[in-house]
Structure 1
Amino acid sequence: MHTLPTLVLAMAALMSCAAMAASPSPADAKDTATPMPAWEQLTQAQRDALIAPLRARWNDSPERRARMYEYAQRWQNMTPEQRKRAHRGMKRWKHMDPGQRAQARALFQKMRGMSKEDRSELREQWHAMTPEQRRQWVERNPPVER
């Protein structure tokens, strides 16, 4: 079982990675990657700066704490490839407009309980739909807010 500090650190890493994906760093601008130190090598001020957004989100949303904790546990269990895919997904999500996000939520929730074959069939149907047909599909299959 993971300890709470380890999970909190994983959540902080996830959130900071999402923030980093959203805005290029100076290293990205120069196309040179500067190796960053291990957590143990960071100063306390650097650690606090990384954890501050998580601390604020945790304190501001007591009703979401269980879900945040669940996300941290899942992140800990991901392979490096799964984490890369998650980063790409977070980046795509950030650049979606509200309508695209609603469509993505509806599709995800609908596919969640489907077999692999049914998901593949729905994906093919989705790609063949016009924007208006997609809008209508989402109206018939609204995402459930969590």
Structure 2
Amino acid sequence: MRALPILALALAMLLPCTAMASPPQPAQDTTATRPAWDDLTAQQRETLIAPLRARWDDNPDQRDRMYEHAQRWQHMTPDQRKRAHRGMNRWKHMGPEQREQARALFGKMRGMSKEDRDALRRQWHDMTPEQRRQWVEQNPPADP
């Protein structure tokens, strides 16, 4: 049973990779044509799992975190998973300064009420780049 969360993480991480690896296809519902996990060949399963296996083996200090992410993924709704994918894509395209700002904002917002988070978001959008840098200096991210 422990393999299921790891498998879910592997599949979630591979979705962007498979989209980039194959040419665009016409929009169609291929859900019915894709086999269930139990119907995949051993080679197909290995193809899906190999990148995760390599990442797992290459990063022993990240294994707890990877496992926790896989468990959380199992409990997400489809909408939450979509939002997570959008967030991962945004993160991928951020520069180092933007990532530091995002970490600082996330850390600060983590313990706030919805109203306070909304107020901070509005304040952030009204700030100049220099004011944002100063804010991050005054509110450094907890885990850089």
Relative to the length of structure 1, the TM-score reads 0.87
- 1:89 is displaced (CA, Å) by 1.0
Name the amino acid aligned to 2:48: L
**For the residues of structure 1 that align with 2:39 and 2:114, how far apart are their CA atoms?**
44
- Equivalence map 1:58-77=2 (5 Å): 58-77=56-75
SS at match of 1:32: coil
Asked if the contact 1:110/1:141 (under 8 Å) is kept, the reply is yes
Match of 2:26 in 1: 31
State the number of aligned residues: 141
Identity %: 64
Structure 1 residues 56 and 115, CA, compared in 2 at 3 Å: closer, same or farther?
A: same
The CA RMSD measured in Å over matched residues stands at: 1.8
Match in the other structure for 1:106: 104
Does 2:51 align with 1:53?
Answer: yes
- Letter paired with 1:66: D
Aligned to 2:124: 126
TM-score (norm 2): 0.88
Gapped runs of 5+ residues in structure 1?
none
4+ aligned runs moved over 6 Å, structure 1: none
1:78 aligned partner: 76
Mark the runs of 5 or more structure 2 residues left unpaired by the alignment.
none
d(CA) in 1 for partners of 2:59, 2:128: 38
